[in-house]
Structure 1
Amino acid sequence: MKRIALAATLLAVAAAAQAQSSVTLYGRIDNGLEYEAGLPSGHRWAAETGDWGESWFGMQGSEDLGGGNKAIFQLEAGLNTQTGAYNNGSLFGRHATVGLSNVNWGTLKLGNLGAGEISQDSWDIDPQVMQKYAIATLVRGRNWAQAGNGFEYTSPNMYGFVVKGQYDLGNSSSWNMGNSGPGQLGNAPGSGLPGSTQGRSDGLKVEYNIQGIELLAIYDEIRDGNGEFDNVYLNSRSVMAGGTFTFGPVKLYAGYQHLSAPDASNVGVYGTAGVPTALPAGVTLPTQVNHEWVGAAWQATPASLITAAVYHANANNGNGNATMATLAATYNLSKRTFLYTEFGYLHNSSTSNVGLGNGYSDPYGANINNDPATGDANSTAPNYGHSQTGVFAGIMTSF
């Protein structure tokens, strides 16, 4: 009887331990086809990964510490599932964090916040949920920023309010500057070029949800390796506010964003003093961009969703404005798998050349210049004053 009692006790303890700890492996794969016209070289067909959303795999877990406390962790890798390579600069470039969570006090995370940089929370007020032709397009990828060497706190829900704050250290002897690692685009630290080592970044988000209404405000700043705001599309201050309103099968969206980079200068970046650049006459590196959007989503059937949105951005210092109209749809084949498609048309004013790319394949600068961020000729952004059209379709499955 004693042996039976002991065995029963051990089984009960094992079951309790299993219930108190968990590890989950998860992921998703997104592949499709894309057609774009209006490129300087003409048009192209391409096999693409991540047009609706980046493919990834990861693991996350928690351990119950008692008293409502949990230890948590997350490791997540972005994937190019057309080539098998990983994205985001490193194996767990999207997330590599450990932290503590309490139901009454909130959640603290430490480590590589990666794709969790607070500007990426803007997908919540984006009608096209940050797919390729969406909230990041007209600001050349600024809303897809990443951050490492940091910590993040998220409050519990307080009468509909949730507050999140981030602070990401540059790990330099100068608190405002970058470390010796590679930058977003691989340029040397402290070079002053877009993509040189990212310096300190920080941000704050306030969200409010009640009865079909969601309001969101985000402030974040990203500095270059010299601790400056040197490029409005990469290292800048961002203030964003917007909201959604849901009634029946329809969800309405509206938002506004202001970007500021007071340290931006053409000197040493897009042409030194006395050396002509290929920018239109009177155009210099922008220091401010205003970005607005409106849209709607319609749950046409339980399986099908149709979304439409218009985005507009205006850059100062003669850089003109760009407007993008989008129409998209998804169809759920199951709870885990759906088909998707999106159409985008982007119109530029005479001194604007924003493209349908992601900001890394079409950064700021004229097409006939060598792109200073990569050293290669810019081949995806349209010529100044020209438009672009694109459409893609694919399949997403998750596990």
Structure 2
Amino acid sequence: MGTDERRRFGSVRKLPSGRYQARYIGPDAVRYSGPRTWAAKDDALGWLRSEERLIEMDVWKSPDRRQTTERARSLTVAEYARRWNEQRAVKASTRAQYQSYLRVHFEGTELADMPVGEVTVADVREWWAEVRDTSAGKSDGATRNARVYAWLRTVFESAVEDGLLDRNPCRIKGAGVTKRQRTITVPSPAEVSTLADGMPDRLRLLVVLAAWCAMRRGELLGLRRMDVEPDGSLLYVRRGVTFVKGQPVVDTPKSGRERTVAVPPHLHAAVVEHLGEHVGKGRAALVFASVAEGNVGGIVDEWTLRYHWQAAREKIGRDDLRLHDLRHAGSMWAASAGATVPELQRRLGHQSTAAALRYMHAAESSDVAIAARLSELAGGDAP
């Protein structure tokens, strides 16, 4: 064992190997040793003097922190974001979306090539201006931009947690807020019936359930015989289907939680009929298969479904209608039928009450419009 030679700042000791080790207690009350041992005592003392000088100048950081800072100077934002995308525990469809943000809106920009540790709020603001200019005039540009910004803000938040940044530079007020860009005019029950009639027989029920059970496209495409009560009264949402580069990916539902959805009684017979005519006998047979004959097909291709949907909506003159809008319709109908916020939340599979509250408010507004139309029918006459 060596013996410490005490000094005003730190200590130096000669090790049994004959080399010298320097140590000191930092401003954080932690003992630090030199990054290596030295053959000459003066070299060990020189390292101590350099550490003491940093403390006197009030620019001292722990050796670990300094290594992190060096990493931040050598690692570009694009490299860090790429690693972040790869390591993030998310669904395959979400990862593909993040990779799209990186590829389309980030790589090749000045901000992407900057060292992580040197990014400022001004740098982010300049990048954000470029993103907005590039998407100007596009119908979904504002929504996508907000999502891209929210993604980058989360990436930088992780960089702060990793010690590469002291503070998140994404601080542009309102930049990550997504606002609805289109007004949805939900279809009426009669329109939904007409839409369903315009679909192939094997997909007719998909449209009906999308509306009356307020289910997502991926939840419907993931349904199997085992997920449907034989009498058609209940559906068990256990999985969801997304498409990554055109290929179906089966995962948990979007919310990450399974749920049970009650089918309105007037549809029970239609569900039972569909099971008998279009679904294979096995428990794992898809409720909506890609072929009608034999019921042995795989998951319905998203482009095939889109083709039939576009043809169906043209028949009612609703080219603006998306398949997802049927879910909005079902949510509105459920709210109008008296569902409470927790009931709506459970039925829709939402993790927060925000969306359920929006449907409640929308249903209230719709009821006001209904009352006004009733007065119109009465011709304004008082009873």
Greater helix proportion: 2
Greater RCO (CA < 8 Å, at least 6 residues apart): 1
- Is TM-score (shorter-chain normalized) higher than 0.5? no
Specify the TM-score bucket, using the shorter chain as the normaliser: under 0.3
Q: Which has the larger radius of gyration?
A: 2
Higher strand share: 1
